[in-house]
Structure 1
């Protein structure tokens, strides 16, 4: 029996300290709700948990970013809804102005409303913003926005390009006797006296035939037999059935002659010779030459393609001329408007620095210059300006529709992005919880166990301290 070293008490004290330490940890875990309160609790688990927390908090903010993106897109799209409404009203007005029953005063009133609507479209583009970012005003720098090509309502094929357009009138469309509508007016293609005379003079081969006002002539070479059986001494035209002619004559075409040329080889052609002033029949202004038709078409194509142009010159290059075999081609240099570059901003919708986490939103400058309706004018005497304005407004409506469709697609994408982000956050949070959070039921079992052990340890330490009291009995 010793008194210097009470090993029972030392052992009981050591175990009590272990139990007390474990009890303290259980108390901490139960109080904080976390299984890992410091790195010593689970070094690897802490590292994994913190990585997950970074992802969770990043994704939470990414979801918020996407929601802000939806809000900005909705703001822009909502403004364009009103632009669409104004363009639809302008289309009604342009259609009304194109009607021939309107007076000059009527068209002036229509023009006033169109001007006001154009100004309002510009104001909407200038002032629509989200969080101090102007959404419809465009970005930095400028570009040239070329207008869409137009055919001025002419019958033919339009091929539109970036800066140029081509309008092709088919072969035969402007042949003698054909009807054509130019600038809302109906014309019939006729021929000048000189044109018909040239067509007749061009026939110099034996047996070529020309019918003038139902009389048929045959071209006979010198010293050849004519259709009447006589010998012609001088080359020229001989009236069929005229047996008295022995000398060829020159056919002279006069105003009103109806002429059909029938070459020995090649196709026949019919003409009505008309006395014309600058390509227009003096007797009937609705009869014009093919050259005059080409000139009128050229003017109308320029007028139709000038709508909305504020930069550059709309012009027909070269000297287009009608060809019976190939038709006529008009090469149109289109005009443009100087507008701001497209506004572009990126929404960061991920927790990492990966560029695939960027969703780019692009919005064009939705003002009247970009839409091609700046300075739109429907106030003229004929209603043709209103007709051409209808095409320009149609192009503007398409541009707004395209932009709204693009914004709608981005919004739908962002909504799916938000749903996905929230799902990832939920599942990652669940995984992090399993690593970091305290299992309260399990930890309560440990706490109860350690509480009992602590009480037992205290009791055993007291008993061990009492065991040395027996030494005193030996000293009495």
Structure 2
């Protein structure tokens, strides 16, 4: 190599090597000071891309662990509240068992029922108040999330239902809601307590102080009552209460009503002329009830009945033989002998409404044998017998020191209303307890609905006047539909049914509580799995990102030595051109 002055190639070579070594030394210093092998994309482009994906997944997994932990806390909150509900249900069953025995009076059962309803109200409060971070847990709203799937617990890195989330469902744990446990009744129900039927002892026969009077009064209910349009309500007769002053006590009347609704059916008189005279047509008809055959005849009189043979002749007292008049006379005959025949009847124009005389029974068979189409029956067997829309009880009025009849709807809600009526008519305000009634007349005098005996005096007017203000003890303002077993324990039969109803509630609650325990265990396993997954993923990310200090320190030492050597050589190279001065000076 020539000795030149303008270009010091050895210095340039030393400087280049120093620069490269210094760069590697700086890289080692950065790695050792940061602990990261990859500090920029230039360090490892592919590794950086993989690392950032891993970092994102690690962050999501760690948040998923926190999500699952929060879900466990939520479940523990719900499960803790359900353990308190469990205590209330056990107490309610204990109270139902107490009321189911016959050694308690109705008044005592009312006291027991007050605690029973208090327990139900407390369950409602707990279920409504229990929340976690503002999310209601036990009022049924949790189940409605995500279109009915439940509350989504998300813990995975994606959105796959098989890998990244599952749902938590908790049913409605409120006691008195149709979607809940269905025990107890927080809704106010129509309750009628009539002072017109009062006695000094519930075991005494029902008789007026002036005279013992037999008679009937009716009970009816509406399920579509609208306070703004009361005249449009459709009323169903629950049954007719027969008072036999020689034998019926308030307790026996209560027991009858609590057997359930009287069965009912219809028979319509239609074509009574045609093909011959009206007399000929009606004389070809016969009516069979409970195997007893009744025919029709014309002329004066009240008809004849032979209970031994099970036959009778229904006398038609009018001469026009219209469908309405025949229905009227048929009702009069059946009512006069209802104790033996087994039905009572109410005429409504040409339609005959028949009711089984006994409470709670399935009904009687009705058959018509007709040469024409003079009679059309609504159904061959009376229907709806035994349906329990109402509960009756004996109420002790401490102020007046007397026992009174109390009737209460089993259904809550403004649509359900209850009334009692005397039997001179069902169309008018003077004869209705509880408000104005509009609609078709269902009788008037003896032919339709008066007492079975010949006394046309209404039993309610016999026992005293009635009016809405004194008879109704609470306004109708409920909102639910509490017709399930366990709504109350006011009667022995209701308490016995409540035992089964509370068992169903306990099973529903236990099923939900066990499901929560299973989900909690599942979440704990999920957390363990997520922790292992995050740990392994972190290890993989570490192998990409983290510096191997031992290896990097070796590189750092090597580069440090090289840098010092290069610096020394650069100094020597920079001094070499001075050799040319020796030649010039020589």
TM-score (norm 1): 0.56
Distance 1:382 1:447, change over 3 A: closer
Once the two structures are TM-superposed, the CA of residue 73 in structure 1 deviates from its matched residue by: 1.4
SS at match of 1:372: coil
Q: Report 1:25-64 matches (<5 A).
A: 25-64=27-66
SS at match of 2:167: strand
Distance 1:344 1:381 in 2: 37
2:160 to 332, 345, 354: 354
Once the two structures are TM-superposed, the CA of residue 14 in structure 1 deviates from its matched residue by: 0.7
SS at match of 1:346: strand
Distance 1:388 1:456 in 2: 101
Distance 1:427 1:129 in 2: 36
The RMSD of aligned alpha carbons is 2.1
Query: Is the contact between residue 97 and residue 110 of structure 1 (CA under 8 Å) also seen in structure 2?
Result: yes
Once the two structures are TM-superposed, the CA of residue 139 in structure 1 deviates from its matched residue by: 2.6
Matched with 2:557 is 448
1:425 to 529, 534, 539: 534
Distance 2:149 2:99 in 1: 35
Matched with 1:344 is 150
Once the two structures are TM-superposed, the CA of residue 103 in structure 1 deviates from its matched residue by: 3.5
Query: Is the contact between residue 116 and residue 488 of structure 2 (CA under 8 Å) also seen in structure 1?
Result: no
Distance 1:380 1:44 in 2: 75
Matched with 1:374 is 184
Matched, 1:465 2:465: no
Query: Is the contact between residue 143 and residue 150 of structure 2 (CA under 8 Å) also seen in structure 1?
Result: no
Structure 2: unaligned runs, 5 residues or longer: 186-484
Matched with 1:247 is none
TM-score (norm 2): 0.46
Matched, 1:364 2:132: no
Matched, 1:390 2:520: no
Matched with 1:302 is none
Larger helix proportion of the pair = 1
Q: Report 1:46-445 matches (<5 A).
A: 46-139=48-141, 344-356=150-162, 357-368=164-175, 370-375=180-185, 383-445=492-554
Distance 1:47 1:363 in 2: 43
Matched with 2:15 is 13
Query: Is the contact between residue 111 and residue 378 of structure 1 (CA under 8 Å) also seen in structure 2?
Result: no
Once the two structures are TM-superposed, the CA of residue 472 in structure 1 deviates from its matched residue by: 0.7
CA displacement 1:73-116 (0-9 Å, x = unmatched) = 11111111111110011111111111222234432321111111
Once the two structures are TM-superposed, the CA of residue 11 in structure 1 deviates from its matched residue by: 0.9
Greater relative CO, 1 or 2 (CA 8 Å, sep 6+)? 1
Distance 1:411 1:43, change over 3 A: same
SS at match of 1:366: coil
Structure 1: unaligned runs, 5 residues or longer: 143-340
Distance 1:378 1:426 in 2: 55
SS at match of 2:153: strand
Once the two structures are TM-superposed, the CA of residue 18 in structure 1 deviates from its matched residue by: 0.5
Once the two structures are TM-superposed, the CA of residue 12 in structure 1 deviates from its matched residue by: 0.8
Query: Is the contact between residue 486 and residue 499 of structure 2 (CA under 8 Å) also seen in structure 1?
Result: no
